[in-house]
Amino acid sequence: MSHLTDSQLQGLADGTLRGPEGLAAREHCEGCAECGSELAIYTSLSTQLSGLRDAQPPLDFTATVLAAVEVREAHLASRRHTVLAALPAAALAVFAVVGWAFSLQIGKIVDDFATARTVIGVLGPVFTALRLPLGIGAFVLFAIVLTALSRTLRPSYARVDT
Ligand SMILES: [Zn+2]
């Protein structure tokens, strides 16, 4: 039998070479001085390697990581909060703009209806009466939206600093 290969010797040393192949390799090492001494080197190396431990992280490692995670989560939460609050605000803004544009259009609609003489008597005054409240409503909604947006954005800036 020829000499054992390095991987066979390593397998014998760390115990991963088993079965008939392992038995034959071990028998060879007992009868062969060259392979026996190499096996002894690999065995002591394997023992020393298994004795090594992973480097210990600093004692405040966990606390530091957790603190960093908390800061990041706070940022994400404030951003989520801002987005969630901004969505209805944006919807209100769109509604306000549409309402405002619609109130501008009502004048035209009233004029159009003025040509259709059959309905102007009923709908004309209704639209005319709606025109001012719609404009005021759109303006009030817009003011509410701006207030809501400014209230929403302020805490997120404050929270980033803490
Ligand atoms: Zn040998």
Separation of CA 46 from chain center: 43
Ligand 1 centre and the CA of 36: distance in Å?
A: 7
User: Which of the four pLDDT bands, split at 50, 70 and 90, describes residue 162?
Assistant: very low
Distance 23 CA to ligand 1 centre (A): 14
Using the mean position of ligand 1's atoms as its centre, give its distance from the Cα of residue 28 in Å: 6
Is the CB of residue 99 less than 8 Å from the CB of residue 138? yes
**More confident site: 51 or 20:** 20
Cα(3) to centroid(ligand 1), Å: 4
Distance 25 CA to ligand 1 centre (A): 9
Measure 21 CA to ligand 1 centroid, in angstroms: 14
Per residue in 97-139, pLDDT (tens digit) is 888 777 777 767 666 666 666 655 666 667 677 777 778 888 8
What's the CA-to-centroid distance between 4 and ligand 1, angstroms? Answer: 6
Q: Cα of 6 to ligand 1 centre, how many Å?
A: 11
User: Which amino acid is it at 31?
Assistant: G
Cβ–Cβ under 8 Å, residues 12 and 32: no
The total of other beta-carbon atoms located within 10 Å of residue 20's CB is 7
Question: In the predicted model, what is the mean pLDDT of the chain?
Answer: 81
Query: Tokens 């065995």 map to which residue?
Result: 43
46 within 8 A of 6, measured Cβ to Cβ: no
Q: How far is the CA of 48 from the centre of ligand 1 (A)?
A: 24
Q: Per residue in 63-103, pLDDT tens? A: 888 888 888 888 888 888 877 777 877 888 888 888 877 77
Q: How confident is the model at residue 41 (pLDDT cuts 50, 70, 90)?
A: very high
CA of residue 115 to ligand 1 center, whole Å: 113
Sequence ranges of the domains in the chain? 6-51, 61-161
| Residue predicted with more confidence, 153 or 59 | 59
Comparing CA positions, the residue from 140, 26, 155 lying closest to residue 92 is 140
